[in-house]
């Protein structure tokens, strides 16, 4: 599990509506503070001193009561049992920390030393902080988070509309066999923007738990089909020797300014050229995006078709007889493929007429 997955896992346990979050909110309402360690493995036991050992079910009210005592509370999150309270934690004091106050310094050091999640509730600031490894996350209150998530969903919607526009216009260019690297890079760029905002929204929704239920439905609707379409586009244009995964990773590594550089995006997807002229290089799709519009067409047939007719423009010219030469394509399926491709061409022409009128 990488750091981001671990963060998501822990933040899910702390989302509003969970028993743990309820307990921490009760601590705040009681004007108290808390130091809570999640996990009671041997390496945690070794840095615990004094206090009381128990083995009782976790509940929000029990946590609040136990936090009234000095020291830390230790919870086993696998079984949701409270294992110890009133504990003095003794992490390695040489672990550097810039936190002020003993509670937060201890929380940071225990998190670094053990790798376990540690939660500190500040009595004076009335804030909940999660320490995970060397990182600290201050949990936002649900109202603020909900407002931010709604704004992010609005942004996602706008980005999605723009993505659909550039993607439709690429389809038209593909049918006319007039695609340049610029057209493809623009769609890839817009897809990456949608992915980033979608990812931010996901993080906020995890933190919101039940409070974000409606926004979650909206986000699911906006992201429907996104991953599949992105994969099809990349594979439609990448050179044979390239890997989709590497392209996706490289795009993910770009900072926001680099992502605006279309020439750089074009190079990442495998267009071979220098300077800004790279964007004028003509490209041909394999036809994967087009073939994906045909219902129930098995992957091996798509593969065989794109291998036989290397480019979409060749594919748009094939007859049903030629299609029947592909293994697994009988007269019925050949007709469906042929008609569907013809339909795509017609729809595109109609859309063009209506957008000009
Ligand atoms: N090593 C430790 N082990 C267990 N509990 C600790 C440890 N250090 C601090 N605490 C707990 O934190 C409480 C507050 O300590 P302190 O006032 O120094 O921290 P703080 O970070 O300023 O907290 P706050 O933000 O809540 O005011 C202590 O009374 C104790 O319950």
- pLDDT block averages, 10 residues each, the chain of length 357: 86 92 94 96 96 94 94 95 97 94 96 97 91 93 92 97 95 92 98 97 91 94 96 95 96 97 96 89 94 89 90 90 92 92 82 71
Q: Is 305 left (phi over 0), alpha (psi -120 to 50) or beta?
A: alpha
Element (H, E) at 75: strand 72-76
pLDDT at 279: 96
Task: Please count the residues of the chain.
Answer: 357
Instruction: Tell me the DSSP string of 266-300.
Output: HHHTT----TGGGGG-B----SHHHHTTSTT--HH
**What is d(CA 35, CA 85) in angstroms, rounded to the nearest whole number?**
10
What is the Å distance from ligand 1's center to 276 Cα? 58
What is the Å distance from ligand 1's center to 71 Cα? 7
Q: In this structure, what token pair is assigned to residue 22?
A: 């309820």
Kindly report the number of other CB atoms within 10 A of residue 41's CB atom: 12
Kindly report the number of other CB atoms within 10 A of residue 12's CB atom: 12
- Rounded to 5, what percent of the chain is helix, strand, coil? 60, 10, 30
The answer, yes or no, to whether any atom of ligand 1 lies below 6 A from the CB of 216, is: no
The answer, yes or no, to whether any atom of ligand 1 lies below 6 A from the CB of 126, is: no
Element (H, E) at 118: strand 118-121
Atom from ligand 1 closest to the CA of residue 124: 27
pLDDT at 357: 65
Q: Is 51 left (phi over 0), alpha (psi -120 to 50) or beta?
A: left
The answer, yes or no, to whether any atom of ligand 1 lies below 6 A from the CB of 89, is: yes
pLDDT at 71: 95
Closest residue by Cα to atom 25, ligand 1, is 122
What's the predicted TM-score (pTM) here?
0.81
Element (H, E) at 86: strand 81-89
| Structural domains for the chain | 3-139 (3.40.1700.10), 140-285 (1.20.1260.110), 288-356 (1.10.150.20)
Nearest C-alpha neighbor of 281 from the set 266, 260, 261 = 266
pLDDT at 348: 76
If one residue of 32, 33, 100, 138 were mutated to test the ligand 1 pocket, choosing by the most ligand atoms within 8 A of its CB, it would be: 33
**What is d(CA 132, CA 8) in angstroms, rounded to the nearest whole number?**
11
Instruction: Tell me the DSSP string of 211-233.
Output: GGHHHHHHHHHHTTTHHHHHHHH
71 bridge partner residues: none
Nearest C-alpha neighbor of 72 from the set 134, 135, 114 = 114
**Cβ neighbours of residue 149 under 8 Å, at least 6 residues apart?**
201, 204, 205, 208, 212, 215
The answer, yes or no, to whether any atom of ligand 1 lies below 6 A from the CB of 72, is: yes
pLDDT at 343: 87
């Amino acid at each position: 599990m990488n750091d981001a997955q671990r963060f998501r896992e822990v933040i899910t346990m702390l989302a509003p509506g969970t028993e743990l979050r309820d307990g921490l909110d009760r601590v705040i309402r009681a004007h108290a503070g808390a130091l809570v360690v999640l996990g009671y493995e041997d390496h945690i036991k070794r840095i615990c001193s004094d206090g009381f050992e128990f083995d009782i079910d976790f509940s929000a009210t029990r946590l609040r009561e136990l936090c009234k005592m000095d020291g830390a509370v230790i919870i086993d999150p696998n079984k949701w049992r409270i294992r110890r309270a009133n504990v003095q934690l003794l992490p390695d004091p040489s672990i550097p920390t810039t936190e002020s106050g003993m509670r937060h310094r201890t929380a940071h050091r225990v998190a670094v030393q053990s790798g376990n999640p540690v939660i500190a509730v500040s009595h004076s600031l009335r804030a909940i902080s999660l320490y995970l490894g060397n990182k600290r996350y201050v949990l936002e209150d649900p109202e603020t988070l909900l407002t931010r998530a709604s704004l992010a969903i609005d942004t996602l919607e706008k980005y999605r509309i723009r993505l659909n526009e550039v993607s439709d216009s690429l389809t038209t260019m593909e049918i006319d066999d007039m695609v340049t690297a610029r057209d493809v890079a623009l769609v890839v760029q817009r897809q990456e923007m949608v992915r980033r905002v979608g990812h931010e929204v996901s993080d906020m929704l995890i933190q919101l738990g039940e409070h974000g239920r409606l926004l979650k439905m909206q986000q699911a609707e906006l992201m429907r089909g996104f991953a599949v379409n992105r994969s099809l586009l990349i594979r439609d244009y990448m050179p044979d020797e390239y890997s989709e995964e590497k392209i996706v990773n490289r795009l993910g590594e770009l900072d926001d300014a680099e992502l605006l550089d279309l020439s750089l995006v074009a190079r990442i997807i495998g267009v071979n050229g220098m300077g800004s002229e790279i964007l004028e290089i003509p490209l041909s799709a394999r036809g994967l995006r087009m073939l994906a519009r045909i219902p129930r067409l098995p992957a091996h047939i798509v593969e065989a078709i794109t291998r036989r007719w290397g480019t979409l423009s060749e594919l748009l010219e094939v007859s049903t007889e030629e299609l029947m030469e592909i293994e697994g394509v009988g007269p019925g399926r050949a007709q469906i493929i042929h008609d569907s491709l013809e339909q795509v061409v017609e729809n595109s022409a109609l859309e063009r007429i209506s957008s000009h009128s």
